[in-house]
Amino acid sequence: MIKKKYFIRLCCIGIFFLQFHVFGQDENVDKSRDTLRLRDLPWAEKELTNASGLVQSDLYVGRNATEDAFKQNAGRFGIIHLATHVILDDKEPLYSKFVFSKNPESEEDGFLHLYELYYMRLHANMAVLSACYTGTGKSVKGEGMMSLARGFVYAGCPSVVMSLWAIDDKSTSVIVNKFYEGLAQGSSKDAALRDAKLFFINSRDPVLSNPYYWAGLVTIGDTKPLKLTPPGDDGGYWFFSLVAVIFVVTFLTLRKSMTRKKVFLY
């Protein structure tokens, strides 16, 4: 049965301010240790592999998914997709960041900060930020929500797919894959995401119909359809860059100085 058109809209509004899986605050961090723990993202690689099978792609995974690679290549593509962890700084939102693999031969620290995005110029028509809380942050009077998604808009992306809470990576993988299928078939961005969510709701265990699993991703900005270049077709501007960080180890070593701030790890 096809859900009524207003169903998803109402659920999205109803759970916009709910918070899930917040952890890693400074009062809970053992400051005698040099590491903070980030959970593996086992479904992120599947998410990116499936998407790269639908459109012409450059795929950066694991050790290749460095901050350098992003800064050097992100400006060349029509779509940018990030599947990684984020670290939110609630006191200094400009220091919220995406976590990339660290290149030991680079001066970059392996973190793409919000303030760094403000200095970038991207030509992508869409950014898909498949990480937790990319659409939330500190609300600043006169400015609005200081989210990581805001950084991509400021850098020139007219359309962003972002998350409102700590999204489940398995359900996100299914939804994102169907989202790209919809785009490839000519659907607008908002319609493609809505259809992907309905597909997930109708094809999964009733427990997974809880909005936590499917309503966290939303679109902002331009929703017009995109012309995607299919795999094997090297022509045209619409290349699709998947910039991904897939963790193959259980723990990620971060700077000890990060434990001195109140941060949220996702």
pLDDT for 140 beyond 90: no
Amino acid 18: pLDDT: 25
Which residues are CB-contacts of 86 (< 8 A; sequence separation ≥ 6)? Answer: 96, 97, 98, 99, 131, 132, 133, 134, 148, 266
User: What integer pLDDT is reported at residue 165 of this predicted model?
Assistant: 92
| CATH code assigned at 145 | 3.40.50
Q: Which residue has the higher pLDDT, 124 or 117?
A: 117
What is the number of domains present in the chain?
1
Query: In terms of C-beta distances under 8 Å and separation of at least 24 residues, what long-range contacts does 206-211 make, across chains too?
Result: 208/171, 211/11, 211/12, 211/14, 211/15
Q: Is residue 13 part of a domain?
A: no
Whether 12 maps to a domain, the answer reads no
45 compared with 63, residue with greater pLDDT: 63
Q: Is residue 47 assigned to a domain?
A: yes
Q: Above 60 in pLDDT, residue 168?
A: yes
Of 57-61, 232-236, 258-262, which range is least confident? 258-262
Q: Which of 81-85, 210-214, 260-264 has the highest average model confidence (pLDDT)? A: 210-214
Where is pLDDT greater, at 152 or 248?
152
- Residue 235's pLDDT is 53
pLDDT computed for residue 8 by the predictor? 41
Give domain status of residue 3, yes or no. Answer: no
Residue type present at position 186: G
Considering only 42-51, 153-162, 194-203, which range has the smallest mean pLDDT?
42-51
The predicted model gives 24-28 an average pLDDT of: 31
In a domain, 160, yes or no: yes
Residue 74 included in any domain: yes
Mean pLDDT confidence for 128-142: 89
What percent of the chain is predicted at pLDDT more than 90?
Answer: 35
Whether residue 5 is contained in a domain is answered as no
pLDDT at site 30: 31
Least confident of 71-85, 165-179, 180-194, 250-264: 250-264
Report the pLDDT value the prediction gives residue 42, as an integer from 0 to 100.
67
Q: What is the mean pLDDT of residues 17-24?
A: 26
The model's pLDDT over 37-56, given as tens digits with 9 standing for 90+, comes to 666 666 777 777 777 777 77
- Tell me the residue range of the domain where 243 lies: 20-265
Distance between first and last Cα of the chain: 35
Extract the tokens encoding 22.
Answer: 């917040």
Element (H, E) at 83: strand 79-83
Q: Which residues, other chains included, contact 85 with Cβ-Cβ below 8 Å and sequence gap of 6+?
A: 38, 41, 98, 99, 131, 132, 245, 247, 252, 265, 266
Q: In what order do the strands lie in the sheet with 97-99?
A: 111-113, 97-99, 86-89, 263-265
Q: Is the pLDDT of residue 134 over 70?
A: yes
Does a structural domain hold residue 11? no
Q: Quick one: pLDDT at residue 75? A: 86
Tokens of 58: 């450059």
Evaluate whether 169 touches 44 at the Cβ level (below 8 Å).
yes
Q: Give the pLDDT confidence score for residue 79 in this predicted structure.
A: 86
The confidence score (pLDDT) of residue 211 equals 92
Would you say the pTM of this structure is higher than 0.85? no
